[in-house]
Amino acid sequence: MRDHRMLVVASVAYAVGLGVLVAGPWGQDLNDLTVRCYTFFRYDWPIAPEWALPHHYGVLLNVLLFVPVGALLVALLRGRWWTAVLVAGVCSAAIEVVQSRWLERIGSVDDLVANTLGAALGALALTLRRRHRSRRAGRPASPRPR
């Protein structure tokens, strides 16, 4: 029971942080971050491929932002990974609509796809980890831990 409460606290904290990030007035700062990432990995520490542009870093940051969302949803919902991905996709769509309609931000399909992909990666990672742990313990994998 204590673990579940900690999970709920972590999920609420992440949701609040995500809400502040997506609703805040720092759209330009986030765009600047993608340019700084591009500059760093292109010139300062040149490991990026030649075709990578600042836009690609924005997509990557959106993917990374939603990896914990997918993992937290799988843990909270105690369901299958695809349920978490579906919920995360709906939440991401709501975020994009709110950004484009009521905030001084631009909602985009690219962000929706990147966010949903990130959630899928997080959900699959946690699901696979649970299955691996169950097999090592000699019990069948269950999508609904008790």
pLDDT tens per residue across all 146 residues of the chain:
788 899 999 999 999 999 998 888 888 898 899 999 999 999 999 999 999 999 999 999 999 999 999 999 999 988 789 999 999 999 999 999 998 888 878 889 999 999 999 999 999 999 999 888 888 887 665 555 54
Number of H helices, E strands in the chain: 5, 0
Q: Kindly list the distances between the CA atom of residue 61 and the CA atoms of 17, 30, 76, 89, in Å, as whole numbers in the listed order.
A: 15, 10, 24, 16
Contact 103, 109 (CB under 8 A): no
User: What's CA 15's distance to the chain center, in Å?
Assistant: 11
